[in-house]
A and B are shown apart, each in its own frame.
Chain A
Amino acid sequence: MTERTKKSTERLIERLASEAVPVRRLSAPALRASLFLLAAAALAALAIVLFANLPMFERRIADPKLAIEVAATLATGILAVLAAFELSLPDRSPRWALLPVPTLVLWIASSGYSCWRHLVVHGPDGWAIGESAQCFRFILVVSLPLGIALLLMLRRARAIAPVRVAALGALGVAALAAFVLQFFHPFDVTFMDLAIHLIAVGFVVLAASGAEALALRRG
């Protein structure tokens, strides 16, 4: 180390030490993830009780394939949020990012299967865009406030690799939004619907990670 940089490092250390005010330690990431999920669950429950067509949902969920799909969507949301909280801390293994992958694959596979079945039964009509535009809007609209709330919670950790965290968080909220959507979804999904759901999820993930990457580059 040259004399000059040694001095500047020394000065930096002195400056940082002089600014060392007491800080509040972050609670365990699992605890923080649970808090967020509980709050999200409370809001979702309220919306479902007030607006959802529950008898219709009960009829649809009786189909085990749909049940698997809905469970996989919910699990993806929960696991991605948990992974985002874990990865927001510096010393966590990057392998946390893989946590939601199995359920994500199950979700895509099971809804893909439903679509294929729909296509076989309904023929070319299966390609039609159902009420997907509405779904797209729904996923975006629900993801936005959830995402902002999650972002605010995640930001407390000041992640050192924020793009990864933002991508996982966005996957989490988008999956949660897609899960809530199932309660308001009166029809079977077509190929286009699935594509629209996934595009919406991908859009949320890309937008969040892109914004984070941009902020990082500027910062």
Chain B
Amino acid sequence: METLPAIEVALLGRLARLLQRRAGHLDSLAPHQHEGAEALETSGEHGFRVVRSGRRDQRRGIGAMGGNGAHGLVITLINPCAIVSHGEPLHFPQQRVRRRGSYGCARRDNKLVKEQRWSQLMAAAQEGDRAAYERLLRETVPFIRAIAARRHSSQDRIDDVVQEVLLTVHRVRHTYDPQRPFERWLAAIAERRSIDLLRRRARRAAVETSDERIYETFPDAGANREGETLARDELSRAIATLPPGQREAIELLKLRELSLKEAARTSGRSIAALKVNVHRAIKALKARLEGE
């Protein structure tokens, strides 16, 4: 079994008791090794390492194991799955383990088995075993989806990434070395393709624009402007109902887009009067158009 990165176990009372109770049955330990704290110092081969520690750990409730109350013990899990009692992996209550990786013995064990299986399937696929290849691709889809989902939120895009990744895996399958972890190889491809899709979208977004109305169009260009014409007519009618001063101000300043000075010269009114009129006109138009 490969050695996993060591994780610290917060030796909360329950875990300590659990280990203590089971220590007599740990297959990986010789009987004399758990008689006292000194004897419990073991190497990592057994899946964990037990060393004596000072009082500090004791205060944290790192319990008296091996009947030696004067010394606390620190247990470092090297590989929880290798700790075997009565032929079964020893189960660690997950909530008691301060995790520095994804642990939980059963889960980790499954993961290792899966990793080995994928690696074997890929090796078989490289030899031309189609059934193995098909099974591998099917099994890896959720894994690829999970990686794609880190960068993409829409289901469509995640599916695009999945398909791109499957195609890439097919194209570069000769680069996989069965001596190396398969998941890392696949994850690197999935990661890269997710980023590629993001970049492609950004590039496309820079030169394209989306206009939904573009799909609602008629061959006759005039027909497409129907909405615009209606709005314009409505506005003209509303303007026609304004008092003459306001109508003139709107026509000069907003429709003909003259400056205040020019409008004042043309109409012979003062700039202040024009401003007041245009303000009132807009208010009236707004009320009228919204009211309809």
A88: B residues at CB distance < 8 A: 175
Verify if A8 is at the interface (C-beta below 8 Å from B).
Answer: yes
Partner of B172 from A5, A14, A158 at Cβ < 8 Å:
A158
Chain B residues with CB under 8 Å of A91's CB are 180-181, 184-185, 188
CB pair A1 B125 closer than 8 Å: no
A210 close to B (CB within 8 Å): no
Does chain A have a CB within 8 A of B68? Answer: no
Does the CB pair B192–A160 fall under 8 Å? yes
Are A16's CB and B175's CB within 8 A?
Answer: no
Chain A residues contacting B159 (CB-CB under 8 Å) are 1-2, 5, 8-9
B interface majority secondary structure: helix
Would B130 and A18 count as touching, CB distance under 8 A? yes
In the complex, A214 has a CB within 8 A of chain B: no
Q: Which residues on the A side are within 8 Å of B267 (C-beta)?
A: none
Contacts of A12 in B (CB 8 A): 163, 166-167
Number of interface residues of A (CB under 8 A): 28
- The docked-state distance in angstroms from the alpha carbon of A9 to that of B159 is 8
CA distance A145 to B137 in the complex (A): 39
- Please name all residues of chain B whose beta carbon is closer than 8 Å to the beta carbon of A89 when the two chains form the complex: 175
B128 located at the interface, meaning its Cβ lies under 8 Å from any Cβ of chain A in the complex: yes
What class of interface size applies to chain B in its complex with A? 35 or more
In the complex, which residues 113-168 of chain B have their Cβ closer than 8 Å to any Cβ of chain A?
125-131, 133-134, 137-138, 141, 145, 155-156, 159, 162-163, 166-168
> Which listed segment binds B: A23-31, A43-51, A114-122, A171-179?
A23-31
Known: A1-B155, A17-B137, A23-B126. A90 touches B172 (CB 8 A): yes
Query: Which of A9, A21, A26, A161 contacts B163 (CB under 8 A)?
Result: A9
- Contact residues of A with B, CB < 8 Å? 1-2, 5, 8-9, 12-14, 16-26, 28, 88-91, 157-158, 160-161
Across the A-B interface, the 7 shortest Cβ-Cβ residue pairs: A22-B128, A17-B134, A23-B174, A91-B185, A5-B159, A20-B133, A90-B188
